[in-house]
Amino acid sequence: MSSKILIIGACGQIGTELTTKLRELHGVDNVIASDINTRKLELVNAGPFVILDAKNFNAIKDCCINHKVDTIYLMAALLSATGEKYPMEAWDLNMNSLFHVLNLAKSGQIKKVFWPSSIAVFGPTTPTKNTPQHTICEPTTVYGITKQVGERWCEYYHDKYGVDVRSIRYPGIISHKAMPGGGTTDYAVEIYHEAIKEGKYESFLSEDTNLPMMFMDDAIKATTQIMAAPAEDITIRSSYNLSAISFTPKEIAESIKAEMPDFKMTYKPDFRQAIADSWPSSIDDSVARKDWNWSHDFDLEKMTSEMLTQLKKKYQS
């Protein structure tokens, strides 16, 4: 019998592309997309869709029973920049949704859980270069605190209750299908849209802010790989470091200029600069590479070429 999957937060930046990929892999009818509203009509019409509030335990439970769901991908969250504006809302959504899903798994209703963590678990006291898997985590953002605490709970539910929960610490994710919402790394998506639409971009991070990043195809690949791995290969039950590329705003601008010589970049750092400054510049993900054969495909040049090609089609059609 096929596994039935529920994606919570399916209309978000990662959820949108994850839904498509999981439907390719498992069949459209075996993947239930859900979100708090129907803002993405394309996704709503592409297969089973349920309106679901990630903070409502009974709604998630009923959905799992009705659709015989045994696997959940919990993608709903308030990200770093939004979390600083609405701290209690970020805590409420990010923590309660996780507890709801972990408790459903503890009760046996759900067999497998994917929950994303983030480079935001790190803080100013973390080693900034090649940040190890096991290191100091003293996050200074509400988002980072929720992810760090969430990691501890994931490991606890695995160790104490045998819950099969798997997680990766996503870096900034760059994609062209759905916009990110409220993150510190969002500049690296906005820049491509503005390059095509306006030929210029004003970065809210300073030119030398080096952050770990990844193209969406790699992020989806990592997510499906870790979920397909045999349980005994998953040696980290908090969250895996995951890495592909690191670059600064200046370097991404240079990569765009290589294809669009007239592109202009200016810099006006705002409150997100302090968040970025508290995060590492590069990540050591050797444990993920060893445990479940993770490897990335996209470097900065290849990603820029793909982003510009796809966005030209989008805006110029």
At which residue do the structure tokens 């095509």 appear? 196
Binding mask 123-152 for ligand SER (x = CB under 6 A): --------------------x---------
Q: Contact with ligand SER (CB under 6 A): which of 16, 19, 34, 118?
A: 118
Going from the C-alpha of 126 to that of each of 63, 74, 178, the distances in angstroms are: 40, 27, 31
- Smallest distance from ligand SER to CB 14, Å: 10
Going from the C-alpha of 120 to that of each of 81, 171, 197, 216, the distances in angstroms are: 11, 8, 30, 18
Q: Which is nearer to ligand SER, 164 or 190 (CB)?
A: 190
Q: Contact with ligand SER (CB under 6 A): which of 22, 78, 102, 120?
A: 120
Q: For ligand SER, which stretch binds (CB under 6 A), given 116-124, 151-159, 235-243, 259-267?
A: 116-124
- DSSP 8-state assignment for residue 3: -
- Smallest distance from ligand SER to CB 161, Å: 27
Q: For ligand SER, which stretch binds (CB under 6 A), given 179-187, 197-205, 227-235, 239-247?
A: 179-187
What three-state secondary structure class fits 114?
strand
Going from the C-alpha of 4 to that of each of 22, 23, 291, 294, the distances in angstroms are: 10, 11, 25, 25
187 closest CA partner among 206, 204, 207: 204
Pair 268, 207: CB distance under 8 Å: no
Binding mask 153-172 for ligand SER (x = CB under 6 A): -----------------x-x
Name the β-bridge partners of 264: 200
Residue with the CB atom nearest ligand SER in the bound state = 183
Whole-number Å distance between alpha carbons of 16 and 120: 22
Q: Contacts with ligand SER in 40-79 (CB under 6 A)?
A: 79
Amino acid symbol at 208 = D
Question: Per CB under 6 A, does 184 bind ligand SER?
Answer: yes
Pair 173, 186: CB distance under 8 Å: no
Residue among 73, 143, 157, 201 flagged as catalytic: 143
Number of chain positions touching ligand SER (CB under 6 A): 11
Q: Indicate if 73 belongs to the active site.
A: no
| Binding stretches for ligand SER (CB under 6 A) | 79-80, 118-120, 143, 170, 172, 183-185
User: Which residues have a catalytic role annotated?
Assistant: 143
